[in-house]
Amino acid sequence: MSTSRTVIVIGAGICGLSTAIWLSRAGHRATLVDRDHPGAGASFGNAGLLAQWAVLPVNTPGLLGTALRYLSDPDAPLWLRWRDLPRLAPWLWQFVRNANPRDTERMIAGLIPLVSDSVDQHRALTRGTQAEKWLATSDLAYAYDDRAAFDADAYSWQAKRAAGFVPEVIEGDAVREVEPMLGPAIRCLAILRAQGHVLNPGAYMADLAAVLQAEGGRYIRADVRDIRLSGGRVTEVDTDQGPLPCDAAVLTAGIWSKPLMRKLGLKVPLEAERGYHLHLAQPSQMPRQPLMMARGKFGVTPMAHGLRCAGTVELGGIEAPPSRAPFAMIRREIARVFPDLRYEGVEEWMGFRPSTPDSLPLIGEIGGTGVFAGFGHQHVGLTAGPKTGRLIADLMSGRRPNLDLAPYDAMRFQS
């Protein structure tokens, strides 16, 4: 192993927690810093799915036509805050330019090794620890209105099949035998066996923070203000609680990594896809397995503390308050597909998915600074977090990862 380093990991979502734990296990002195409690952002509010089948990026061929159709449909899972369009336009242009067959194949090739073994990666991270209890083995069922809707999704299933995820298709009345909670609106299921999900994302993050500290790492609640370099190498991370000297640093702060990259003199095309969830308390029914609602583009996940309905995309930055339209759409869709479902209360939540124009994260050292990137995972942050952390720990420890890291090059957007 290389010489032990003092490493500051900035951002305590799943990527930061995983990185700090793997660094500590590799013999480094890891300190995790966040201005909030562990997993306070997207790592808390996600659908809880270990989406190792999520090998298709959002920007696929035909994206522009689909997006324009969605934006005119109040029941579609996409919204745009039009006042933000001028600011978003450069990023959107790059995003749409990648929505072609050649670049889509490139993005798929980058996503497969990051996500396709997610369940095993989460198990390896948590094995023998208090966090392990939050991982569940489960099937995953895509719910379609009918067989025609499933057939229309052929491009997506072609990519999944090529990555080894082959569905079992159930149609007609047999759908209710597999999932009694569903009403007659759903006439087709595409089931992937032996997948996995998290039973309580917030509790999972809290326990991972406890695992880090039990294994010798530190957690500090502080607001990071700057990353200081000397001779081109990081020497300390400046916080509102004072400076933290270090030999290396890791940026795993999601969308908030963007201003910190700017402090390094780098401009990263990172935008927030605003995601929404409704968490239903004391539901009268629970599905037998997590579901992906194909029409509404959100997951329905049975959890230890209720039923999580999470997904959708809204483009509109990080400053504006939550919009009502995504919540309303999810409510309508819940009533449509689960006509007999009742619940005691509902929690509304909105958070930010950090998204790059090529739907791939930044992983690896930023130039020769000793600062490493681990952000930009779009919809697969929870899924790919443990593997991202392991890759960064390997790089810092002088171990060569057994996959090509070029697709995630942290400097690829610098001209």
What tens digit of pLDDT does each residue of 129-153 get? 999 999 999 999 999 999 999 999 9
The pLDDT, as a whole number, for residue 42 is 86
- What are φ and ψ of residue 58, in 5° steps? -70, -40
307 vs 400: CA distance, rounded Å: 41
Q: Is the pLDDT of residue 164 over 80?
A: yes
Are 365 and 271 within 8 A, CB to CB? no
Are 204 and 39 within 8 A, CB to CB? yes
Are 390 and 121 within 8 A, CB to CB? yes
Please report the domains of the chain, with CATH numbers, ordered by start residue: 6-43+203-266+358-408 (3.50.50.60), 55-197+270-355 (3.30.9.10)
Are 413 and 367 within 8 A, CB to CB? no
The pLDDT, as a whole number, for residue 2 is 61
**What is the pTM assigned to this prediction?**
0.96
The pLDDT, as a whole number, for residue 119 is 98
End-to-end CA distance of the chain: 34
Are 354 and 11 within 8 A, CB to CB? no
Are 317 and 361 within 8 A, CB to CB? no
16 vs 2: CA distance, rounded Å: 21
309 vs 39: CA distance, rounded Å: 18
Buried b (16+ CB within 10 A) or exposed e, 217-253: bbbeebebeebbbeeeebebbbbeeeebebbbbbbbb
Helix extents (H) in 78-191: 85-97, 101-115, 118-126, 147-152, 154-162, 174-178
- What are φ and ψ of residue 18, in 5° steps? -65, -45
pLDDT, tens digit, 9 for 90 and up, residues 189-231: 999 999 999 999 999 999 999 999 999 999 999 999 999 999 9
What is the SS3 assignment for 291? strand
The pLDDT, as a whole number, for residue 72 is 79
95 vs 58: CA distance, rounded Å: 9
Q: What is the mean pLDDT of the chain?
A: 95
Are 233 and 370 within 8 A, CB to CB? yes
Question: What's the sign of the alpha-carbon dihedral 207, 308, 173, 150?
Answer: negative
Q: How many CB atoms lie within 10 A of CB 212?
A: 30
Q: Which two tokens stand for residue 129?
A: 């620890």
Report the percentage of the chain scoring pLDDT > 90: 91
32 vs 20: CA distance, rounded Å: 6
pLDDT, tens digit, 9 for 90 and up, residues 362-405: 999 999 999 999 999 999 999 999 999 999 999 999 998 989 99
Q: Is the pLDDT of residue 290 over 80?
A: yes
Maximum C-alpha span of the chain = 68
The pLDDT, as a whole number, for residue 76 is 83
